[in-house]
Amino acid sequence: MTYSALDRFRDAIKGQPKDHAPIFPMIAAWAAANFSVSPPAELAGDPPQRVVDAQIRAMEAAGYDAFYAYANPLYIPQAFGCRVRFLETGPLADPLPLSITCPEDIDRLPVPDPEKSEPLAGALKIVQGLSRYGAGKIPVLGLFEGPITTACRIFEAELIMRMIYKNPPIFEALLDLVTGFLIEFSRALVANGANVIFLPEPTASAAMISPGTFRKFVLPRLQAITRKLDVPCMLHICGDTSPVLEHIGQAGADVISLDQCMDLAESRSAVPGAVLGGNVDPINALLNGSPEQVTENTLNCLQTAGARHFVLMSGCGLPPKTPLENVKAMVKAAKSYGLGSAK
């Protein structure tokens, strides 16, 4: 029986991959920019099948192990009613006005149905298409951003941040509403073929909120989501997460994905026994470096973190202009390293 990429990922979570660490560069925007027929300004608005086709062509060209089943991170704000504009620099959501004076106002906010909302239905079709192609052998990562990031996408981020300190009950009620929706959406993703959930929560970065805010407000909502999942979950928080890394380890994610600024050895000590993901530099190595520099960075990650309880990833999303030869160099280095020595 062929050892599949999905087998490799599941075994890595148990610390028992048979050949090499799973290879999961964050390729969604890169795949769309380089393997789609659409011009850059329209990438995030691609019909589902064009997104599926671009992801398949990108994987076939580079040889990594996973699909990221989404076109852009703003389909959830769009489903809540935000106007999303597709610019050359990427999609931008115009936040909704926030006229909430008490927690009861939160209950009156309209919540989209994952199966009936057009943006969400489109995301589910991407999952379906990639799942059909993967045929149970390739990780298909259903994606949604975490509760505080989603809240800051839908409404004005500055107002949300102010609410943390000025009106915590309303802030918590809003997070609970968003968390409940995300749980329902995660079920829809899995029902339509996602066999892994990828959960980025960039607004939970230590550069954005305090460790106390993370512990009190964000961590319980992340735990609520992961407890309801029937598939593995990968959690990614941008930037320096060392002040809250131990708490991130309590979120219930199967893989903790780390930004390129994080030291893998220190992270391994902070969350012993956790499966780490990371953290090849998407800018200095993958975008601007040579294949030789990518190889060096990749091998350093593997040697530092070890190839068993580890998923090789980029530290964040690949920039659209990342050279294909650099992505291939990352893949080649990981396969050459295997489980413990470069060949």
Packing angle of the helix pair 168-191, 219-227 (nearest 10 deg): 30
How does pLDDT run across 88-117, given as a tens digit for each residue? 666 677 777 667 777 777 888 889 999 899
| Residue 342 domain flag | no
| Residue 176 domain flag | yes
Task: Provide the residue type at 214 as one letter.
Answer: F
pLDDT for the residue 33:
86
Measure the CA–CA gap between 115 and 323, rounded to whole angstroms. 37
Q: What is the mean pLDDT of the chain?
A: 91
Measure the CA–CA gap between 253 and 234, rounded to whole angstroms. 6
Query: Residue 168: which CATH number?
Result: 3.20.20.210
| Residue 72 domain flag | yes
328: containing domain: 5-337
How does pLDDT run across 298-338, given as a tens digit for each residue? 999 999 999 999 999 999 999 999 999 999 999 999 999 99
Per the structure block, which two tokens stand in for 92? Answer: 């931008």
What's the first-to-final CA gap in the chain, in angstroms?
Answer: 25
| Residue 41 domain flag | yes
Q: How many domains does the chain have?
A: 1
Measure the CA–CA gap between 147 and 221, rounded to whole angstroms. 7
b/e map of 177-193 (b: 16 or more CB within 10 Å)? bbbebbbebbebbbebb
| Residue 343 domain flag | no
pLDDT for the residue 40:
47
Its pTM stands at: 0.93
